[in-house]
Amino acid sequence: MPSANLIGKIDGILLDLGVSSPQLDDAERGFSFMRDGPLDMRMDPTRGQSAAEWLQTAEEADIAWVLKTYGEERFAKALARAIVERNREQPMTRTKELAEVVAAATPVKDKFKHPATRTFQAVRIWVNSELEEIEQALKSSLNVLAPGGRLSIISFHSLEDRIVKRFMRENSRGPQVPAGLPMTEEQLKKLGGRQLRALGKLMPGEDEVAENPRARSSVLRIAERTNA
């Protein structure tokens, strides 16, 4: 919950979602399949289960669900089976081990994307409850933004962008009252009006992607707090 002395006082909020470049580049954080390190993936290494711990204790069906839901991985069942079988033989503790297991179990390779990309994304999102954290941050932003304040959010994959897009759309419409529902003008006022005005989205240009390839999939959505 936002501090009471911040409610309605912030003129601008920028949310840069997901894992950061310094985190990806630090092998010891365990976020990247490109650098061998501990299979951790936690944003806060002092809290919760690491990726290795979760993969060693989770049921095959649960792993498959996470890969499908948070990684949009079409081979989720096959990869989950391979992960569980490998952990039975010898528990995985390194990012390289998980990447190799996933690559070997992927029946059809994408020549433009590493086979472990979706798996690492899915496990990271699950371990950190990232989508739930995004939804909570968006709700809190409405409380602290001042009228006319801007909410700017950078997302990097479709799951994040879907949440942001839906949030801005729903809060730009105001309350939806069923047709024919008997309500007085005073009751309608209490429901409030729309809380945001969507200002659009921006995508990275060719020059920006050339300078920073990691920006390739990013989407910046902007909205303005109304007086409601």
Same domain, 110 and 144: no
**Domain for residue 189, yes or no?**
yes
Average pLDDT, integer, range 198-227: 93
The residue from 128, 151, 179 where one domain ends is 128
User: pTM (2 decimals)?
Assistant: 0.85
pLDDT at 194: 79
3-state DSSP assignment of residue 11: strand
Average pLDDT, integer, range 173-192: 61
Indicate the pLDDT class of residue 1, thresholds 50, 70 and 90. very low
CATH assignment at residue 86: 1.10.150.170
Q: Is the pLDDT of residue 136 over 70?
A: yes
Average pLDDT, integer, range 202-218: 93
**Domain for residue 26, yes or no?**
no
185 is in which domain, residue-wise? 4-18+131-225
**Domain for residue 62, yes or no?**
yes
One-character DSSP codes across 33-61: SSS--BS---SSTTSS--HHHHHHHS-HH
**Domain for residue 23, yes or no?**
no
Q: Is the pLDDT of residue 178 over 70?
A: no
Same domain, 85 and 99: yes
Tokens 């029946």 — which residue?
Answer: 107
pLDDT at 100: 97
Average pLDDT, integer, range 88-105: 97
Indicate the pLDDT class of residue 174, thresholds 50, 70 and 90. low
pLDDT at 124: 98
pLDDT at 110: 84
Same domain, 80 and 155: no
Tell which residue, 170, 173, 168, has the closest CA to residue 155: 168
CA angle (129, 137, 126) in 5-degree steps = 10
Same domain, 164 and 201: yes
The number of domains in the chain is 2
HEC sequence for 56-113: HHCCHHHHHHHHHHHHCCCCHHHHHHHHHHHHHHCCCCEHHHHHHHHHHHCCCCCCCC
Indicate the pLDDT class of residue 6, thresholds 50, 70 and 90. confident
Give residue-wise pLDDT tens across range 105-123: 999 888 888 999 999 999 9
pLDDT at 66: 99
Q: Is the pLDDT of residue 40 over 80?
A: yes
CATH assignment at residue 187: 3.40.50.150
Same domain, 54 and 101: yes
Percent of the chain topping pLDDT 70: 89
Same domain, 156 and 187: yes
Indicate the pLDDT class of residue 177, thresholds 50, 70 and 90. low
Same domain, 142 and 124: no
pLDDT at 173: 83
Q: Do 91 and 52 contact (CB within 8 A), yes or no?
A: yes
Same domain, 91 and 47: yes
**Domain for residue 200, yes or no?**
yes
